[in-house]
Structure 1
Amino acid sequence: MNYCDIKYTDMLNGQGIRVSLFVSGCSHYCKGCFNSDTWNPNYGFPFTEDIENNIINYFYKYSSSLRGLSLLGGDPTYHDNIPHLVKFLTKFKQHFPNKDIWIWSGYTWENIIQNSQRLELIKLCDVLIDGKFDIEKKDPNLKWKGSSNQRVIDIQKSLKYNSIIEKE
């Protein structure tokens, strides 16, 4: 898996101060995508164990001021990214069980829960912003999403109640 950027103090992609990992690889090709270079899974840099450890060490150093981790792209739920992110998030959760994880995907909740690999990944996360970016529904006033068709879903509550529960 490759990544194109890590923002170590991001306040735009989720609640609070976060570390945001922008992965490469996406098959949605949304018109108007702000990060179209990341469609190519080979774009950027290899996501190595050293990079994983850098993120974890950063959380140890600044844990009191960091709310959590955000995964964007590209698409973290792109098929080639899933095994790498499952491994990393499992490790991350062992170190920081109280930090939340937000994930963005061009797939909808309904698509994700029908795919065992994608479901395995999002079960490790707390909030999902689902759905393709739709330039016709673009709204810069929306929180955490680019277009009005996307939803901000509380993953754990949605799984527990077998119903989509949007984050307040």
Structure 2
Amino acid sequence: MIDQNLRIAGVIDESIVDGPGIRFVIFTQGCPHHCPGCHNPQTHDFAGGQEVKISRLLADVQADPLIGGVTLSGGEPFCQPKPLAELARVLRLGGKHIMTYTGYTWEQLLEMDDPDVLALLRQCDVLVDGPFVQEQRDLSLRFRGSRNQRLIDVPTSLEQGRVVTTTCAHL
């Protein structure tokens, strides 16, 4: 593993609301979207939070046998794709499910034509895409805050060259 620094706002050691099963959640620091009504506005400042080695986060996840997956949230994870892709790669080798939240749409991520963004996408099982839109807020949605956001099955979408959504019900 290539140990890299990652700027984070914090973590949740065990969550059942940020994806299927019991998950370790990493809140990245820095976000360009500034969505009105954002759930994590303290993560917007790119100079905030703290830097940690991805090896430390990996050790924290591996120390808890109840963790079935890791959720990358924010801030905006795709502002730090290189260290997150490496962390997610090692976690997936260990059998962890990776779910990532982004304020970008799937289409915007692909248009970036950035190899690090694509590397992170390739390590994701599920992507929740799109900005939070307060006017479309819907508390009945599973793992999403607003109706415009999609739960995307990333491996299938990459394979088929089109967005394929999921309900995460099978997980």
Identical-residue share of aligned pairs (%): 30
Distance 1:110 1:99 in 2: 26
The question of 1:15 aligning with 2:53 is answered: no
Mapped to 2, the partners of 1:66 and 1:91 lie a distance apart of 15
Write the deviation string for residues 60-90 of structure 1: whole angstroms up to 9, x where unpaired.
x41xx32211000101012xx1122122222
Shift of 1:49: 4.2
The answer to whether residue 32 in structure 2 is matched with residue 27 in structure 1 is yes
- Which residue in the other structure is 1:106 paired with? 103
Read off the aligned partner of 1:146 and give its amino acid letter: G
Question: Aligned ranges for residues 1-168 of structure 1 at < 5 Å?
Answer: 1-58=6-63, 61-62=64-65, 65-78=66-79, 81-94=80-93, 96=94, 98-115=95-112, 116=114, 117-168=116-167
**Code of the aligned partner of 2:110:** I
TM-score under structure 2 length normalisation? 0.87
- So what's the TM-score if we normalise by structure 1? 0.89
CA distance in 2, matches of 1:56, 1:7: 10
Contact 2:31 2:46 in 1 (8 A): yes
Larger mean CA deviation between 122-131 and 111-120 belongs to: 111-120
DSSP-derived class of the 1:30 partner: coil
Q: Distance in 2 between matches of 1:50 and 1:154?
A: 27
- How many pairs does the alignment contain? 160
Question: CA 1:50–1:118 in structure 2 vs 1: closer, same or farther (change >3 Å)?
Answer: closer
Deviation at 1:144, TM superposition (A): 0.6
Q: Structure 1 unaligned runs (5+)? A: none
Whole-Å Cα distance in 2 between the matches of residues 49 and 159 of structure 1?
Answer: 26
Counterpart-to-counterpart distance in 1, 2:91 and 2:96? 9
Find the counterpart in structure 1 of residue 3 from structure 2: none
Q: Which segment is superposed worse, 39-48 or 124-133? A: 39-48
Moved over 6 A (4+): none
Question: C-alpha distance in 1, partners of 2:109/2:82?
Answer: 15
- Tell me, in whole angstroms, the C-alpha distance in 2 between the residues paired with 1:102 and 1:43: 23
